[in-house]
Amino acid sequence: MSITEREAGRLCLRGDEEGGEGAFSALMTVERLQGCAPVDSAPDTIGVLIIAQGALSRSGIAAMLSSRPGIRVLGGADDVVSVPAGGEPRPDVLVLCLADGSRAEFEKLGRTREAFHGSAILLVMGTLSAGGIQRALKADIAGVISDDASADELVETIRRLSWGESIVGTDVAVMGSAQTRNPLTPRESEILGLAAEGESPEETAAHLHLSVGTVRNHLLSTVQKAGARSRLDAVRIARRRGWL
């Protein structure tokens, strides 16, 4: 069970003190999450912003963090693009939750780094794959942990990141070190990656200016090299082994 699922299960939704209309109120275009510390929190607290899909996910994390001394949850959003530019106060630590290690998900990391270059970024990864972990480790961010980390581990990681340390969770480090040699050629990796994103051979051929037959031959080669039963199985194996 993930951090979010554990904490969301015991989240108590409260009405707004003034209007009494639900559990959340707006702070510009970013959510002010119920349970967050008031604006006049002590200046030595750690300001945290949560970027995660789904209000329940963000609220579960916020409820857990807000119960710990010295941490102030500033708010949350689905994506960094929802956060007002130049908003104050800026977070000391930004918690970014990614569903998996796909290239599409890691585009969120790129946007986050551009918008919050002065904040320590903690990447919380959902589905762990060798490929996703390799992307995370190469991204040169402050911290990476698994969504299966305990609440205490999440809090301790946030505190240490605020002190300027770099943290890689134990399970993330173990899987990252287990990456196997990639037998795919750059072209095969590119074509299999596009297939993993849902492109048909015809679409990939047009995209890369290749013939459909050439694309199909490359895909057949990736299936054989991976020892897979099908193209979908090859994608699964390649992701697990860190080839994609």
- pLDDT for 170 equals 63
User: What are the pLDDT digits (tens) for 62-80?
Assistant: 999 999 999 999 988 887 7
Q: What are phi and psi of 243, to 5 degrees?
A: -85, -20
The dihedral region occupied by 91, where left means phi > 0, alpha psi between -120 and 50, and beta the remainder, is: beta
Give 70's Cβ-side CA count (13 Å radius): 9
Cβ-in-10-Å burial (0-12, 13-18, 19+) of 9 comes to exposed
For the whole model, what pTM was predicted?
0.56
Share of residues in the chain with pLDDT > 90 (%): 30
Provide CB contacts within 8 A for 236, sequence distance 6+: 228
What does the pLDDT read at residue 109? 78
Q: Encode pLDDT of 171-203 as tens digits.
A: 565 555 555 567 889 999 999 999 999 999 999
Contact (CB, 8 A) for 110 and 133: no
Give yes or no for a contact between 237 and 231, defined as CB atoms under 8 angstroms apart. no
Q: How many CA atoms lie within 13 A of 231 on its CB side?
A: 19
Task: Report CA dihedral (228, 233, 239, 244) to the nearest 10 degrees.
Answer: 80
Whether the bond into 89 is cis, omega within 30 of 0:
yes
* Mean model confidence pLDDT for the chain: 76
The answer, yes or no, to whether residue 32 has pLDDT greater than 70, is no
